[in-house]
Amino acid sequence: MKNLLFTKTHEWVQFLDETTAKVGLTDFAQKELGDLVFVNLPEEGDEVGVEEGFADVESVKAVSNVYSPVTGTVKAINEALLDQPELINTDPYEAWFVEVENITEREELLTEEEYEEFIKEEE
């Protein structure tokens, strides 16, 4: 899956270089949430911090926070999600939320294998 790393709060991270990364929700998270009907994203230029909520998603079940796995500045948001939040359900690993630049800190991230083990323990 394109060199992705994962968090225990079910976000994925794809580092584009040492200080820039895209962040999205995992397939496990979107399945748990159900059909997503609304996404609230930060603004370009906003600061995000490790383990801080930076966005939220609303499903028919509930509203859930999306947490940042890195500290940095929002370089870009995926505006397509604002009109089509269902993209997260149909292709979670293409439906990135934000691109973060000037990353100064990252939380401990899991490899795909470690994340799969973590999910098994949660079920």
Return the higher-pLDDT residue of 20 and 3: 20
Can you tell me the mean pLDDT for 83-104? 97
What's the pLDDT band for 61 if we cut at 50, 70, 90? confident
Q: Hey, how many other C-beta atoms are within 10 angstroms of the C-beta on 5?
A: 21
| Rounded distance between C-alpha atoms, residue 84 and residue 53, angstroms | 21
Q: What is the pLDDT of residues 32-44, one digit of tens each?
A: 999 999 999 999 9
Q: Please answer whether residues 23 and 76 qualify as being in contact, where contact means their C-beta atoms are separated by less than 8 angstroms.
A: no
Q: Please answer whether residues 81 and 99 qualify as being in contact, where contact means their C-beta atoms are separated by less than 8 angstroms.
A: no
pLDDT of residue 122 exceeding 90: no
The domains of the chain, with CATH numbers, are 5-122 (2.40.50.100)
Residue 42's φ and ψ, nearest 5 degrees, are -75, 180
